[in-house]
Amino acid sequence: MSTQLPEKLVRHAGIDRAFHWLTALVMTVLLVSSLLPIMGIRFVWLELHWSSGVLLTVLVLLHIVRALRGRNGRLMKLRRADFDELKGTLRPGKYSLQQKLIHLAWSAAILVAIITGVVMMVKAGTPFFTRNPYILSYRSWGLVTLLHDLAALASVFLILVHVYFGLLPEKRQYLRSMVGGTVRREELAADHDLDRVARGE
């Protein structure tokens, strides 16, 4: 079945690559605008931070809609059988166990950041919400901020690990496909089961 696959496979459609790189840019702006003031570099960060957060929310909503409508969401779903890759009894389909796990970690961190961020926008006051710091108690605001901070720290960790694996020579095919969209069949065959890829797994 794998021979049915063309010599060059489209791994990431243009819209998915645009989502990836725009999200990377927005995440960088979000982390820079929140962490630099903590490091003592003072500037007007709040407007930049919440407006980038709104852009991230829009991007994530579009990504979720696309994942639910197409087969991309199913391809990224973590299954019990995926753990057989650790035993070497199963080779990955389109996405490896590690790729599914880091996507899951990203999903958790970003969703927590977005949900808590939207709540914090009510406290800060933005064109979207009338400022009202009294909708939550002081203690509850602390817990919301704690979750937002944890999501930020998790994002710092995930960005460093993600960039490291993306730059490894043996993983270069993934980086190239995230730039150009395609991957060569024999290059993919080194780490993936082409029959599973052809079956859309």
CA dihedral of 16, 18, 104, 141, whole degrees rounded to 10: -140
In the bound state with another protein, the residue whose beta carbon lies nearer, of 86 and 161, is: 161
Is the CB of residue 183 less than 8 Å from the CB of residue 8?
A: yes
Q: Which of the ranges 21-29, 41-49, 88-96, 142-150 carries the binding residues for another protein, by CB under 8 A?
A: 142-150
Q: Which of the ranges 1-9, 61-69, 76-84, 150-158 carries the binding residues for another protein, by CB under 8 A?
A: 150-158
Beta-bridged to residue 183, according to DSSP, are: 9
CA dihedral of 72, 77, 57, 163, whole degrees rounded to 10: -90
> Site for another protein (CB under 8 A): which residue of 21, 83, 128, 157?
157
| Closest separation in Å from C-beta 158 to another protein | 8
> Site for another protein (CB under 8 A): which residue of 36, 68, 86, 156?
156
Compose the 30-69 pattern: x for residues touching another protein by CB under 8 A, - for all others: -----x--x-------------------------------
Q: Could you tell me which residues come within 8 angstroms of residue 70 by beta carbon, excluding any fewer than 6 positions away?
A: none
> Site for another protein (CB under 8 A): which residue of 150, 178, 189, 198?
150
- Helix intervals (H) in the chain: 14-38, 46-69, 72-75, 84-87, 97-124, 138-167, 172-180, 185-189, 194-198
Using CB under 8 A, list all residues that contact another protein: 35, 38, 137-139, 142-143, 145-146, 148-150, 153-154, 156-157, 160-161, 164
